[in-house]
Amino acid sequence: VCLGMQSMVIEYARNVLGIKDANSSEFDDNTENKLVIEMLEHHTGKMGGTMRLGARKTLLHPLPESANQPKSIASLLYDGAESVMERHRHRYEVNPDYVERLENNGLNFTGKDETNQRMEIVELALSEHPFFFGVQYHPELKSRPEKTSPPFHGLILAASGRFEKYFSLPAQAYSVPANGVKKRSPSKTEDSSALKKQRSGSVNINPIST
């Protein structure tokens, strides 16, 4: 969520694209590769009234054919909606100058603002990660006890091993190597056993270096 999504983009740029000094200008304004930058509305040194606040429309975009996945996580969570209204509170955003390069290397921005310049939702295909999903907005601000916000609903489903069943998806085998994205195509038997082992905590997954 918000800074978390920005950190996901930075991590991907460092460990998949090999941009070792990728960072946010909020953390290091001297880095050459600013994957996250201040919005034009934010004037450095002037804090009052410079945040992007309130409900904003996010347009949902399909995954590329290369993802080999009929629907994006965003589309599944928001029940096939073409757009959603979510509340925002931020001064920094993903640098649009890097978006094409990130997308060409497997990182999918499935939610963008109406100008197509601001990245709102980022995800990886389910064949690459069980739930790599981040949003720029704050879904917690609209979440209610009996009406859970879709991103949090998806997180709980994935954490409990029920995401595929809930959305009637074929079971996936998630193997996360050092770079976090390499796909594999196991047999159906391996698919089932690997998934059960991972959910029971018996599969060791090497953490992605930062």
Residues carrying an active site annotation: 2, 138, 140
Residues in the chain: 210
The sign one gets for the Cα dihedral 96, 39, 14, 8 is: negative
Q: How far apart are the first and last CA of the chain?
A: 19
Position 53: which residue type? L
- The token duo for 147 is 């009406």
3-state secondary structure 139-164: HHHHCECCECCHHHHHHHHHHCCCHH
